[in-house]
Amino acid sequence: MFRKIFKYLFISLIPFGLYLFIVFIYTFSNNDHYPNLKNRLKWSIKDTLTANKQLEFWKKEYEFNVNTIENLNEKLLEKDYLLAEIPNLIKKIPIKESISQEFNLNDSKLLLKKFKTSYLTTSKHPGALGTSYIEYYDNKIFLVSANGLVSFTNVENFNSNKAFDFQIINTNIKDFVKNKLFYTNSEIGIKDVLIKDKKIYLSFTNLQVVSEDCYNTVIMVSEINTTNLEFKELFNPMECVKRVNAYGDFSAIQSGGRMFSLDKDNILFTVGDYRYRDHAQNPKNIFGTLQKINLRTKKSELLAYGLRNSQGLNFDEITKRVILTDHGPMGGDEINILNLEKKIIYNYGWPISSYGEHYGLKKRDESHPLYKKAPLHKSHKKYGFEEPIKYFVPSIGISEIILLPNKFLNKDEGNSDINLLYGALGNKPEEGDMSIHITTLNNKYKEIDSNILNIKERVRDIIYIKNLNSVFLMLETSASIGVLKLN
């Protein structure tokens, strides 16, 4: 009897074991798309479960005809395309309020409301359910998923107690971006959205057609409307980094891509090092840099280098200072300040100086080849680099950063403090990950106060809407939009 049970159990486990073996082989032959075996397994299993779950969801939600269902079942065999096809079948994204959280902050109370959707579940990190970016324009909230789905809703909908929809806008992104990894759970996708002067800009990790398996970070642009977006290339430096390289390392997660409006003719733009560490100390290439892009000439100007992967970017018009966050390796996340009035090119030190250490090593070993190429000295100033105004050990997975007015924190309007709100990714809330951070600086950019709102969500994107005195956040652990305001 037991022998029979064991036999049937063994036979039933063979397909799953074969699946894991295939994933294992695929991982080591394509390790450039996924950081390690654990993440590849997470992504692959999530792909399978998500594809089947979403297919059933769409069948139930919409009355597809038989041909459509058969077509989707065929696509299911090629999971790379299933999630890319679904947006073509829908016109709206339903949203409903899920939970609220209240936080005490000094003498104030802040309320966070989450608005959830089950539709935006393409992620660009194994810890995320869905990765998206958010922007505000013309009394509307625009939402851009990491696989290129663009939608909008009136901002007033977030003040109602009713469920509402984001309306999907037709685009030519599928004609513009041919790389199939862009549309799946991978490291390749949209990196930011910016709306400026009736135009919408999207940055994304791009597979260069001029060189096989070579990537860079590119910006596309379209006149903005709510019916159809025709994107064109705005900025493509043509330089690219190959997945297979002499360093034996590559990560498209480290691609930067943050944009911020600087003035009428220019935007700020970050480009990551793609884990080509040496590139960050070479001011002649685009990688590991902060650039100023002229929107008329489409030419770029180097403002700073020595960066690893800047995922937060802002500009203080009063002090003329750029504020940017940068991901460290294992530890060493930074907040950096750049004074545009000095007319110099800043060097933030990566990978010569960093308060972090290299991944994969149990302890610092300066005889290791990694430390010989990238020593990660603990002082920046000693080696001629700019010191961060704040750094984090362990890392918090620092993401977008914004300036908050005093009234948001219930402070006197005449107060000269500088209030920064920034997000944290990661997966350890006890270390400050998956949280909202609020840091107050004096007018010399010295820290005088800091608070953490532990929301247990990876915070990918943040905007502040002045007329609502509210902060909108893209929360990717639950694929939700958060609204934070004084209670």
Q: Which residues pair with 371 in a beta bridge?
A: none
- Please determine, for residue 145, whether its predicted confidence score (pLDDT) is greater than 60: yes
For the chain, give the percent of residues with pLDDT over 70. Answer: 80
Last residue of a domain, one of 90, 109, 135: 90
> What does the alpha-carbon distance between residue 50 and residue 438 come to, in Å, rounded to a whole number?
35
pTM of the model: 0.85
pLDDT score at 33: 34
- Please determine, for residue 404, whether its predicted confidence score (pLDDT) is greater than 70: yes
Q: Structure tokens of 1? A: 């009897």
Query: Alpha-carbon dihedral of residues 220, 121, 274, 28, nearest 10 degrees?
Result: -130
12-41: average pLDDT:
44
> What does the alpha-carbon distance between residue 13 and residue 259 come to, in Å, rounded to a whole number?
48
The per-residue pLDDT for range 225-272, each reduced to its tens digit, is 999 999 999 999 989 998 877 666 889 999 999 999 999 999 999 999
Structural domain total, the chain: 2
Q: Are 329 and 318 in contact (CB under 8 A)?
A: no
CA distances (Å), origin 322, targets 142, 206, 262, 276, 308: 25, 26, 9, 25, 17
Q: Measuring CA to CA, which residue among 285, 267, 288, 105 is closest to residue 195?
A: 267
161-175: average pLDDT:
92
411-422: average pLDDT:
91
Answer yes or no: do 277 and 343 share one domain. Answer: yes
The per-residue pLDDT for range 448-482, each reduced to its tens digit, is 999 999 999 999 999 999 999 999 999 999 999 99
Answer yes or no: do 162 and 60 share one domain. Answer: no
Full 3-state SS string of 59-80: HHHCCCCHHHHHHHHHHHCCHH
Strands, E assignment, 354-458: 390-392, 398-404, 418-424, 435-441, 447-454
Residues whose CB falls within 8 Å of the CB of residue 5, separated by 6 or more in sequence, listed in order: none
87-99: average pLDDT:
79
Least confident of 56-65, 226-235, 443-452: 56-65
pLDDT score at 107: 83
Q: Structure tokens of 390? A: 């704040």
Answer yes or no: do 278 and 260 share one domain. Answer: yes
Last residue of a domain, one of 90, 108, 134: 90
Answer yes or no: do 58 and 126 share one domain. Answer: no
CA distances (Å), origin 465, targets 45, 138, 398, 402, 485: 38, 11, 21, 11, 10
> What does the alpha-carbon distance between residue 284 and residue 61 come to, in Å, rounded to a whole number?
52
pLDDT score at 17: 56
The per-residue pLDDT for range 322-350, each reduced to its tens digit, is 999 999 999 999 999 999 999 999 999 99
Phi (first) and psi of residue 37, to 5 degrees: -60, -40
Least confident of 18-32, 102-116, 245-259, 416-430: 18-32
Answer yes or no: do 85 and 202 share one domain. Answer: no
pLDDT band at 30 (very low <50, low <70, confident <90, very high): very low
Residues whose CB falls within 8 Å of the CB of residue 341, separated by 6 or more in sequence, listed in order: 320
Answer yes or no: do 212 and 252 share one domain. Answer: yes
Answer yes or no: do 151 and 82 share one domain. Answer: no
Residue 366: CATH number of its domain: 2.120.10.30
> What does the alpha-carbon distance between residue 287 and residue 254 come to, in Å, rounded to a whole number?
10
Least confident of 18-27, 149-158, 255-264: 18-27
pLDDT band at 423 (very low <50, low <70, confident <90, very high): very high
CA distances (Å), origin 382, targets 238, 262, 353: 35, 31, 9
Answer yes or no: do 225 and 143 share one domain. Answer: yes
Query: Alpha-carbon dihedral of residues 56, 60, 63, 66, nearest 10 degrees?
Result: 30
Last residue of a domain, one of 90, 109, 143: 90
Q: Are 338 and 320 in contact (CB under 8 A)?
A: no
Answer yes or no: do 82 and 119 share one domain. Answer: no
Length of the chain: 487
Answer yes or no: do 32 and 105 share one domain. Answer: no
Answer yes or no: do 349 and 388 share one domain. Answer: yes
Indicate the helix (H) or strand (E) that contains 243.
Answer: none
Q: How many CA atoms lie within 13 A of 137 on its CB side?
A: 19
The per-residue pLDDT for range 264-323, each reduced to its tens digit, is 999 999 999 999 999 999 999 999 999 999 999 999 999 999 999 999 999 999 999 999
33 or 154, which is more confident? 154
Q: Are 306 and 251 in contact (CB under 8 A)?
A: no
37-51: average pLDDT:
46
Range of the domain at 442: 93-486
pLDDT score at 106: 85
Answer yes or no: do 229 and 378 share one domain. Answer: yes
